[in-house]
Amino acid sequence: MNKTKRFCAIALAAMMAVTAFSGCGGTDTTSSGSASTTPADGTVSVEGGDNEDPLYGEGANGTISLKVWGPDAAQDLLKEQCAAFIEDMKPYGDIEIEVIPQGEADAANLVTTDASAAADVFGFACDQLDKLVSSGNLLKVATAEKETITAENSESSVKAATYGDDLYAYPETGDNSYVLFYDKRVVSDEDAQTLEATLAACKEQNKQFVMDAGNGFYACLFAFTGGLEVNGLDADGVQQFNDYDEAKVVKSLMAFQDLLGQYSDIFVNGETTKVVDGFLSGSVGAGIDGSWNFASAKDALGDDVGFAELPTIDIDGEATPIVNMFGYKLIGVNSSTQYPSTSVALAMYLTSEECQIQRAEQLNWGPSNKVAAEQDVVTSDAALSAVIAQSEHSVAQVGVSDKFWDPMKVLGNRVVEFDDPFTEESAKEILDQTIANIKG
């Protein structure tokens, strides 16, 4: 009951904001009335002004059949949610949904290869947004839905789904990032606060510390901690950066190299899969790994597993929080779908508060929905609260060029090349080269 109340309040607030800002008098906002007559999830009721049918008449011409893609891990829940959606939409039309397992990483490639064979509604990671938008494969989010989404989801998750001035996707999770994973028998919760103590604790028991410095997604933390930030793309698709302090970034790079270099015997630069694998075999004490491995880390260590936001690192005598890149999982609607309105309604439903809470409960996926993020299931979970804490100091993975990753990878590899220590000049040089090559 409490939930619905809160939802209505937000919905109303959104409505008011909309009418106030756009002054769009034509839209008949009898939201309270329609909210009570439409299904519990509510999201579908808010859209579309005087049109009561959330499917916009698509149900009139026989059965609507949709194809939905989601990752293997989420199959069962996704099927349940789709079934619930079908049930909710019964009054407006018969819907058939085929749920097909398809990983988020590959989804964009498949859609761009052949949109007509792809799913109508599909999940993808936000770094694929540019590609999907520029190839015209995503159906833009209409004003009505855009308002709901903006009101309900965290600002940065909405930003992650935005390209130019338009919203192109529906935020599904707010957790596509990485934090510190550790074995509590090796690294105490207190040690996990600072990188220095974490490494020392690992070394003491001769356990490895794993990080994938040869991957731009992780390696960018070396530079981001020093204050570098991505700042969208310009009209030609060239990556823009914030007005960063070069000296500080250089110091950060040098601090990381210096510290990790002191522990070069236990520092492993390798794929993130080595973290959980090492937990299983007992060779790894701590590592930096992504939220999608929460479950397998819990399976590997049971109660001994610890998660925390990335630790601080001492730069110039100051404990600086490590800043990382923070991504989101989004749901997109294929622009060549036969049933755009039904697909939109489904995408809205799948990203609603209700569904996000279900995912948090069953899959350990952190929500992007503001209300869902405050639920007990999220706040009491060590892993999810670590990600949410991390999001406080992170750079959103928004408007990141395809050319970003490769140079960042080179930079990361350079930082962990301990045999060839940085001088201030050489660190500055590689930073300049990296920036220049990303702008390419």
Partner 1 sequence: MTFIEYKALSPAQKAQYKIKEFFSQLPSKLGSFFGAIGKFFKNLVLGIVAGFKGFGSRFASGDMATKLSYIVMGFGNFTRGQVGKGLAFLAAEILYIIYMVNFGLVYLSKFNTLGTLETGQQEDPVTGRIVNVQGDNSMLILLYGTMSILITFLFIGIYVANTKSAYSAEQSLKAGKKNPTLKEELKDFLDGKYHVTMLSVPVVLISVFTVLPLAFMILIAFTNYDANHTPPGKLFTWVGLDTFRDVFEASEGASKSYTFVQLTKWTIVWAIFATFSNYIVGIILALMINKKSIKFKTLWRTLFVLTIAVPQFVSLLLMNQMLQDDGVVNLILSYMHLPTVSFFNGTALTARITVIVINMWVGVPYTILQTSGILMNIPEDLYESARIDGATPVVQFFQITLPYMLFVTTPYLIQTFVGNINNFSVIYLLTSGGPSKNPNLYQAGETDLLVTWLFKLTMSSNDYNTAAAVGILVFIVCATLSLITFNMSKSSRNEEEFS
Partner 2 sequence: MIKSYKLSRMISDIVIYVILAILGIIWVSPLIWLVLHSFRAEGGITVPYIFPKQYTLENYKKLFTDTSVFDYPRWFLNTFVVAVFSCIISTLTVMMVSYAFSRLRFKSRKTFINIGMVLGMFPGFMTMIALYYLLKAMNLTQTLPALVICYSAGAGLNFAISKGFFDTIPRALDEAATIDGATRNQIFWKIILPMSKPIIVYTILTSFVAPWCDFILVKIIMGDNRDNYTVALGLQRMTDREYKQGYFKQFLAGSVIVAIPITILFLKMQNYYVEGVTAGGVKG
Site residues (CB under 8 A) for partner 1? 47-49, 51, 56, 109, 112, 115, 131, 133-137, 139-144, 208, 214, 236-237, 268-270, 274, 283, 335-336, 340-341, 344, 402-403, 406-407, 409-411, 413-414, 417, 430, 433-434, 436-437, 440
Check: CB of residue 81 under 8 Å from CB of residue 350. yes
Beta-strand pair 318-321/312-315: antiparallel
Q: What mask of x and - would describe binding to partner 2 in positions 283 to 322, judged by CB under 8 A? A: x--------xx--x---x----------------------
Helices (H), 161-314: 195-204, 216-224, 246-262, 273-281, 294-301
Are 367 and 373 in contact, with CB atoms under 8 Å apart?
Answer: yes
Of residues 76 and 429, the one with the C-beta less far from partner 2: 76
Q: Does 268 bind partner 2 (CB under 8 A)?
A: no
CA–CA separation, 259 vs 199, rounded Å? 9
Q: Shortest Cβ distance from residue 138 to partner 2 (Å)? A: 17
Site size toward partner 2 (CB under 8 A) is 27
- Residue 89 has, within 13 A of its CA and on its CB side, a CA count of 32
Q: Which residues pair with 287 in a beta bridge?
A: 181, 210
Lookup: tokens for 239: 């990556």
- Which of the choices partner 2, partner 1, none does residue 105 contact, using the CB cut-off of 5 to 8 A by kind? partner 2
Nearer to partner 2, 185 or 439 (CB): 185
Q: Give backbone dihedrals phi and psi of 431, rounded to 5 degrees, phi first.
A: -65, -45
173 binds partner 2 (CB under 8 A): no
Determine if 193 is a binding residue for partner 2 (CB under 8 A): no
**Residue 209 in the binding site for partner 2 (CB under 8 A):** no
Write out the H or E segment, with its range, that includes residue 93: none
Distance CA 396, CA 399 (A): 9
| HSE-CB of 338 using CA atoms within 13 angstroms | 13
| Binding positions for partner 2, 90-129, rule CB under 8 A | 100-103, 105, 110, 113-114, 117-119
C-beta of residue 341 within 8 angstroms of C-beta of residue 120: no
Q: How far is CA 158 from the centre of its chain?
A: 11
Contact string 7-46 vs partner 2 (x = CB under 8 A): ----------------------------------------
Stretch 50-79 residues interacting with partner 2 (CB under 8 A):
69, 71-72
Q: Which does 196 bind (CB under 5 to 8 A by kind): partner 1, partner 2, none?
A: none
Q: Which residues lie closer than 8 Å to 118 by C-beta, 6 or more apart?
A: 67, 69, 107, 110, 111, 137, 334
Binding site for partner 2 (CB under 8 A): 69, 71-72, 100-103, 105, 110, 113-114, 117-119, 271-274, 276-277, 280-281, 283, 292-293, 296, 300
